[in-house]
């Protein structure tokens, strides 16, 4: 594996150090290995990491606003950043400092003044390990047929985004989607063609999602679930209708459908505005009820709690 090729982008290293001289030296030795992003304080470093999601963090300990130990503890306590390897680079060379650094979650500890070849070799090794770990995590979180998030990733993401929306008091919407008359499709065209149908539908549904925070998962069988944190019901209905039309435009023949002469979908949209009072699976249940209404009404349509 190379350091820039599993997901089609170069890996990145964040350097958080209040010494601009150290940053310049580290950048010079690493810039051909990976992208380098920098911050000169603990607070700015946290913002940088949350916004850029680097593959490795090089972290100084002694900084004015927030020391490196505190930064490391915050990152390791957050599910979004807990898997990012952190390497302390510090002038504190006592064994106790190194022990504390490793205890709070760092994967390595390099003493200043550092040897550039040693730093480069260690960073390169941790980049490779991070790449391999990401690859394995991605396999465990991905549906093998469609390439979408699987049920495991869906549950994890639904829980974390629900808690985040609870904290900041924003709406949370979901869309439950089902391919119309999929069993008759399999009976008519065969299971291999059924798999191709699933992959094609998954591709256009996924292509309808534009915001980085939204995800589409395979919920099971021919059902899909879109998670839309921060989107109100009107936005969810608009996206669901966009998805329905995108599947229609595929033009895949479906001679056994009672809804259309082509492959179509039905969708149920639901929104919650009081995440702190309720549970995410209650919202999924409401979306599933709206999907049932769409099927009862003839399929190939979008239904929500706003639908008369």
Would the CA dihedral through 179, 288, 154, 165 be positive or negative?
Answer: positive
Q: What is the CA radius of gyration of the chain?
A: 24
Does 196 lie in the same domain as 87?
A: no
Does 131 lie in the same domain as 156?
A: no
Residue 2 lies in a domain: no
Residue 3 lies in a domain: no
pLDDT tens, position by position, 64-119: 889 999 999 999 998 889 999 999 998 887 889 999 999 999 999 999 888 899 99
pLDDT tens, position by position, 1-19: 334 444 457 899 999 999 9
Give, to the nearest 10 degrees, the angle between helix 191-208 and helix 233-248.
140
pLDDT tens, position by position, 154-208: 998 899 889 888 888 899 999 999 999 999 999 999 999 999 999 999 999 999 9
Does 175 lie in the same domain as 131?
A: no
Does 165 lie in the same domain as 80?
A: no
pLDDT tens, position by position, 126-143: 999 998 888 767 767 889
What range does the domain containing 198 cover?
151-304
- CATH number, position 39: 3.40.50.2300
The greatest distance separating any two alpha carbons of the chain, rounded to the nearest whole angstrom, comes to: 75
How far apart CA 232 and CA 234 sit, in angstroms, is: 6
pLDDT tens, position by position, 220-267: 999 999 999 999 999 999 999 999 999 999 999 999 999 999 999 999
How far apart CA 302 and CA 296 sit, in angstroms, is: 12
Active site members: 222
Does 242 lie in the same domain as 127?
A: no
CA 65 vs CA 76, 97, 286: distances in Å: 19, 19, 46
Residue 99 lies in a domain: yes
Per-position DSSP letters for 92-155, written without gaps between them: --SHHHHHHHHHTT-SEEEESSPPHHHHHHHHHHHHHHHHHHHHHHHHHTB-TTT-SB-HHHHH
Does 276 lie in the same domain as 166?
A: yes
Sheet holding 215-220, edge to edge: 215-220, 223-229, 172-179, 265-272, 302-304
Final residue in a domain of this structure, among 111, 140, 169: 140
Does 217 lie in the same domain as 112?
A: no
Residue 277 lies in a domain: yes
> Does residue 230 contact residue 214 with C-beta atoms inside 8 Å?
no
Does 171 lie in the same domain as 134?
A: no
- CATH number, position 272: 3.30.70.270
Does 296 lie in the same domain as 163?
A: yes
């Amino acid at each position: 594996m190379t350091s820039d090729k599993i997901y089609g982008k170069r890996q990145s290293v964040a350097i958080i150090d209040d010494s601009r001289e150290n940053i310049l030296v580290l950048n010079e030795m690493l810039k051909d290995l990976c992208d380098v992003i920098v911050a000169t304080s603990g607070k700015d470093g946290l913002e940088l990491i949350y916004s850029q999601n680097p593959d490795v963090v090089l972290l100084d300990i002694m900084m004015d606003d927030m020391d490196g130990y505190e930064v490391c503890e915050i990152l390791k306590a957050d599910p979004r950043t807990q898997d990012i390897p952190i390497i302390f680079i510090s002038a504190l060379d006592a064994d106790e400092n190194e022990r504390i650094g490793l205890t709070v979650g760092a994967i390595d500890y390099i003493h200043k003044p550092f040897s550039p070849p040693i730093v480069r070799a260690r960073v390169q090794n941790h980049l490779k390990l991070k790449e391999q770990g990401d690859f394995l995590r991605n396999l465990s979180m991905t549906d093998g047929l469609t390439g979408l998030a699987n049920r495991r990733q869906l549950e994890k993401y639904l829980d974390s985004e629900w808690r985040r929306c609870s904290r900041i008091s924003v709406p949370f919407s979901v869309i439950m989607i089902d391919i119309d008359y999929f069993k008759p499709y399999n009976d008519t065209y065969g299971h291999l063609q059924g798999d191709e149908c699933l992959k094609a539908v998954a591709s256009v549904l996924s292509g309808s999602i534009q915001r980085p925070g939204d995800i589409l998962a395979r919920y099971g069988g021919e059902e899909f679930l879109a998670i839309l944190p921060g989107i109100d019901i009107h936005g969810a209905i608009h996206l669901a209708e966009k998805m329905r039309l995108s599947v229609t435009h595929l033009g895949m023949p479906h001679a056994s459908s009672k809804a259309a002469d082509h492959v179509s979908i039905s969708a149920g949209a639901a929104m919650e505005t009081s995440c702190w009072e309720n549970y995410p699976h209650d919202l999924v249940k409401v979306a599933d009820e709206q999907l049932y209404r769409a099927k009862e009404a003839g399929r190939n349509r979008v239904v929500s709690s706003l639908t008369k």
